[in-house]
A and B are shown apart, each in its own frame.
Chain A
Amino acid sequence: MDVKRNLVTGSIAAVAIAAFGVTTVAGQRPAAPPAGIAKPWVMPRTGDGKPDLQGIWTNATLTPLERPQGQPNLVLTDAQAAAMENATAERRERLSQASDPNRPAPPQGGDGSTGAAGNVGGYNNFWLDPGERVAVIDGQKRSSLIIDPPDGRIPPITAEARARNQERMKARAGTGQYDHPEYRPLAERCLLSFGPTTPLVPNYFYNNNLQIVQTPDHVMILMEMVHDARIVRIGGKHVPPHIRPWMGDSIGHWEGDTLVVETTHFPLQQPFRGAAENLKVTERFRRVDANTINYRFTVEDPTTFAKPFTGEIPFNATNELIYEYACHEGNYALANVLSGARNEEKRKGTQK
């Protein structure tokens, strides 16, 4: 399709222009455009000459973080991508069909639903908004967000990390996962969302939106859930080692037209695949066209991962709004989970 090919060519051209790293306030001087392509895109800049990353973006995508088994290549064929996207669309269509108004209550003992639906069927599909397209970076349809290691998977964890995890499990032996609120996942406690937050990986459920506001000395990244605003201090220094805020401590600087953010000081209660104390996340934000920021992240923790890993996610501009996600204020669920466990123990006579 002509428009699509031109779009891809235009994107590559824009990337090439951006790669020159022109930073004059006046903007870049693009090469003469080849015939048939609209005027090349010029990087919008803020008043202090930096690339303008501001706006509302979505990182929703069908592409998973890790390469699925049986998919050796980073780049999907058009047919593979179309299959994924059509499957999602068809599923949504199918689940939008009317139900039988005479349907009975669901089966005793559970309805057999797996994963998040937890054998009780979860809720209707219309509440979800996981993403409709595969991730496209530099014209490539991606099979995984992770690009390095080349197999697209998180590297194995170190022996040291394995030992740490075993210690943690030993400490919890004999306890139940519903005994205390502190045993529940951070998202259920409304402390953070159910993605890692840093890096800005989508959660594959909903509300995969973020807002960026940029001043000369700060960049603010608001994730819709849980109204978490990360304020990056441009040219700043990290906080003292004993200060460990949720989402870590972020400082940033510009390398040409790329914003580079370094985050460390994660609290121990916020592990990313078991890494927290020595976790460092480096993020690179590069705007490549009117509608896209190419986001690249590297996760390193030599005490947890055998080697660092890197991923890429396109942030796509959206005209939609971010709404308040006041989680704790409406959190009936946590109380239900805990009181449910106590109630069930009484019923089954298993309380101690």
Chain B
Amino acid sequence: MNVRTTIGIVVLGAGLVLAGRSVMAHHAFGAEFDPNAPIRLQGKVVRIEWVNPHTWIHVETVKDGKPEVWMVEGGTPNTLLRRGITKDTVAVGTELIIDGYQTKDHSLKRANGRDVTFLDGRKLFMGSSGTGAPKDGRDPTEVPRKPPGQ
């Protein structure tokens, strides 16, 4: 099954072109991670750093019988916070499966969270607002989404 969960968002049907500087200029995935060092991790969440520019999920795996903690890079937390996610949403101890690539600095146990899922394969977070309603608030017949906490 094709599990291409990449962020090549720029290439949509209508030929979306990015504004300003090139895409590579921000997201230095290719600059930070090594395509020759693929990894697959399965382990328990020990800590989540809900920080910008990238969330970091600390996962404890077991290698050769010994515990090993990896840091997995995610995206900006702000997008998820607007969807109602909080620092308590993912409990310590939650088991995850992660595939990705290690940093070019092989002395670090860090990798990009190319695909972060629960043990049954479900994505860690959902990509839609849930209602399917557009987010730009233009349509006055659309019920405005309540900010979290209200």
The answer to whether A and B touch directly, with their CB atoms under 8 angstroms apart, is yes
Give me the interface of A with B, judged by CB distance under 8 Å.
Answer: 3-4, 7, 58, 60-62, 64-66, 68-71, 80, 83-85, 87-89, 91-93, 95-101, 103-111, 113-133, 136, 143, 145, 177-178, 184-185, 187-188, 190, 194-196, 201-207, 224-225, 272-273, 290-292, 314, 316-327, 329-333, 336-337, 339-344, 347
Contact between B19 and A343, CB atoms less than 8 A apart? no
Contact between B33 and A118, CB atoms less than 8 A apart? yes
Contact between A105 and B39, CB atoms less than 8 A apart? yes
**Distance from A39 Cβ to chain B, minimum over Cβ atoms (Å):** 13
Contact between B124 and A126, CB atoms less than 8 A apart? yes
Q: Tell me, yes or no, whether B65 is within 8 Å of chain A by CB.
A: no
Contact between A121 and B6, CB atoms less than 8 A apart? yes
**Distance from B31 Cβ to chain A, minimum over Cβ atoms (Å):** 5
**Distance from B23 Cβ to chain A, minimum over Cβ atoms (Å):** 4
Determine the interface band of chain B, counting residues with CB < 8 A from chain A: 35 or more
B contact patch SS? loop
The one of A69, A143, A203 in contact with B20, judged by C-beta atoms closer than 8 angstroms, is: A203
**Distance from A110 Cβ to chain B, minimum over Cβ atoms (Å):** 3
* A271 to B125 alpha-carbon distance, docked (Å): 36
Contact between A194 and B21, CB atoms less than 8 A apart? yes
A contact patch SS? loop
Contact between A114 and B11, CB atoms less than 8 A apart? yes
29 A-B contact pairs sorted by A residue (CB < 8 Å): A7-B140, A62-B16, A65-B17, A68-B14, A71-B14, A85-B134, A99-B123, A103-B3, A111-B35, A114-B8, A115-B10, A116-B8, A121-B114, A121-B115, A122-B8, A126-B80, A130-B9, A132-B134, A177-B31, A184-B28, A185-B28, A196-B19, A204-B18, A206-B79, A321-B81, A323-B77, A329-B51, A332-B73, A333-B28
Contact between A124 and B123, CB atoms less than 8 A apart? yes
Of the listed residues A80, A127, A225, the one surrounded by the most CB atoms of chain B closer than 10 A to its CB is A127
Minimum-distance CB pairs A-B, first 9: A127-B75, A118-B30, A340-B104, A330-B51, A110-B35, A194-B26, A121-B114, A118-B29, A68-B15
* A266 to B107 alpha-carbon distance, docked (Å): 40
Contact between A98 and B12, CB atoms less than 8 A apart? no
Contact between B105 and A336, CB atoms less than 8 A apart? yes
**Distance from B132 Cβ to chain A, minimum over Cβ atoms (Å):** 7
Within 8 A of A (CB), among B11-69: 11-21, 23-36, 38-40, 49, 51-56
Q: Which residues of B contact A126 (CB under 8 A)?
A: 79-80, 123-127
**Distance from A234 Cβ to chain B, minimum over Cβ atoms (Å):** 27
Q: Which residues of B contact A127 (CB under 8 A)?
A: 7, 55, 74-76, 79-80, 125
* A73 to B5 alpha-carbon distance, docked (Å): 33
Of the listed residues A98, A190, A202, A314, the one surrounded by the most CB atoms of chain B closer than 10 A to its CB is A98
Contact between B134 and A65, CB atoms less than 8 A apart? no
**Distance from A339 Cβ to chain B, minimum over Cβ atoms (Å):** 4
* A309 to B79 alpha-carbon distance, docked (Å): 32
Contact with A along B78-120 (1 / 0, CB 8 A): 1111100000000000000101110111111010111111011
Of all chain A residues, the one with the shortest Cβ separation from B19 is: A65
* A316 to B132 alpha-carbon distance, docked (Å): 18
The one of A101, A123, A316, A339 in contact with B119, judged by C-beta atoms closer than 8 angstroms, is: A101
Q: Which residues of B contact A177 (CB under 8 A)?
A: 31
Contact between A204 and B73, CB atoms less than 8 A apart? no
The one of B55, B82, B105 in contact with A321, judged by C-beta atoms closer than 8 angstroms, is: B82
**Distance from B128 Cβ to chain A, minimum over Cβ atoms (Å):** 6
Given contacts A69-B15, A325-B78, A336-B103, 6 further A-B contacts (CB under 8 A): A92-B128, A118-B27, A119-B35, A133-B138, A342-B105, A344-B104
Contact between B82 and A104, CB atoms less than 8 A apart? no
Q: Which residues of A contact B23 (CB under 8 A)?
A: 115-116
Contact between A194 and B136, CB atoms less than 8 A apart? no
The one of B35, B36, B122, B141 in contact with A3, judged by C-beta atoms closer than 8 angstroms, is: B141
Of all chain B residues, the one with the shortest Cβ separation from A330 is: B51
* A126 to B9 alpha-carbon distance, docked (Å): 12
* A106 to B78 alpha-carbon distance, docked (Å): 28
The one of B28, B55, B115 in contact with A118, judged by C-beta atoms closer than 8 angstroms, is: B28
Contact between A318 and B137, CB atoms less than 8 A apart? yes
Contact between B99 and A105, CB atoms less than 8 A apart? yes
Of all chain A residues, the one with the shortest Cβ separation from B30 is: A118
**Distance from A351 Cβ to chain B, minimum over Cβ atoms (Å):** 13
Contact between B19 and A203, CB atoms less than 8 A apart? yes
Contact between A106 and B19, CB atoms less than 8 A apart? no
Of all chain A residues, the one with the shortest Cβ separation from B37 is: A108
Q: Which residues of B contact A330 (CB under 8 A)?
A: 49, 51-54, 56
* A128 to B73 alpha-carbon distance, docked (Å): 14
Of the listed residues A60, A61, A131, A330, the one surrounded by the most CB atoms of chain B closer than 10 A to its CB is A330
